[in-house]
Amino acid sequence: MRIALIVCSSVVGDTSGNLSKIEKWTAAAKQKSADLACFPELCATGYHVGEEIHDAAETIPGPCSVRIAEIADKHGIRVLAGMAEKSGSRTYAAHVMAEPGSGISGIYRKLHVGPPEKKAFSPAAQIPPPFEVSGWRIAVQLCYDAHFPELSTNMALSGADIILMPHASPGKSPDEKLASWMRHLPARAFDNGVYVAAVNAVGPNGCGLSFPGVALLLSPEGKIRDQYTGQHESMTVADLSRENLESVRGHPMKYFLPRRRPEIYYKGD
């Protein structure tokens, strides 16, 4: 499977402009024969932790998610894009999967809300099953979710072959952000025998935050396969190899997941 990791900017309060940018990059991903275009966290509505994000939030379905589905349908490619979702009195950081001809086929809502986000977003209560894409099973985590090892293990046990990790992580330089990711993301791939692909927003959000552009693909061995670091919008196109995945999972000393002993880890929980 070929995936496109889109490092792009988005501005809070300019959902229309953000969606136009999503369409531009989706078309570019299709031209590169990608099966899936993955965008950063809250790319459609912009990322913010202030009151502005509640004004930008929309229900699903709603105009924003419908437009994402139209983009996927028009260009004939799956689109995984983020938005602030309004659900009753709650606001979620959500990522939707849009399938050509099928509309929105799934929603992932952020499970672990970072301390600065607690006044803006509610945490989801359930881990959704992986998405099925071209014979691959794809799980999603959003930014802060990636810091919790049990979540990746749960997703791998549910059959995930790859975990996509869209971020809206501000501050630091691109190189510093990549170094931060390299402290924990290779372990998520290596320990669970899965591909891990992460992509961050870039540039200012119009509300005082700025993001360093980073994209990263890690193999099931936890090794870097592709990466981008920079201050400009960019697209990283990467191929996932089923042969690579199966070679790891068929090796008794490279695939650790089936040899876990949870009965001794969680006594008393």
> The CATH number of the domain where 225 resides is what?
3.60.110.10
What 3-state class would DSSP assign to 219?
Answer: coil
Task: State residue 99's pLDDT score.
Answer: 96
Tokens found for residue 64: 């924003």
Q: Which of 171, 231, 181 is CA-nearest to residue 8? A: 231
> Domain span at residue 76?
2-265
Q: How many domains does the chain have?
A: 1
Task: State residue 268's pLDDT score.
Answer: 67
Instruction: pLDDT tens for the chain, 269 residues: list them.
Output: 999 999 999 999 999 999 999 999 999 999 999 999 999 999 999 999 998 999 999 999 999 999 999 999 999 999 999 999 999 999 999 999 999 999 999 999 999 999 999 999 999 999 999 999 989 999 999 999 999 999 999 999 999 999 999 999 999 999 999 999 999 999 999 999 999 999 999 999 999 999 999 999 999 999 999 999 999 999 999 999 999 999 999 999 999 999 999 999 987 65
**Rounded CA separation 246/242 (Å):** 6
Cα dihedral sign, 122-123-125-129: positive
**Rounded CA separation 123/46 (Å):** 18
Task: State residue 269's pLDDT score.
Answer: 59
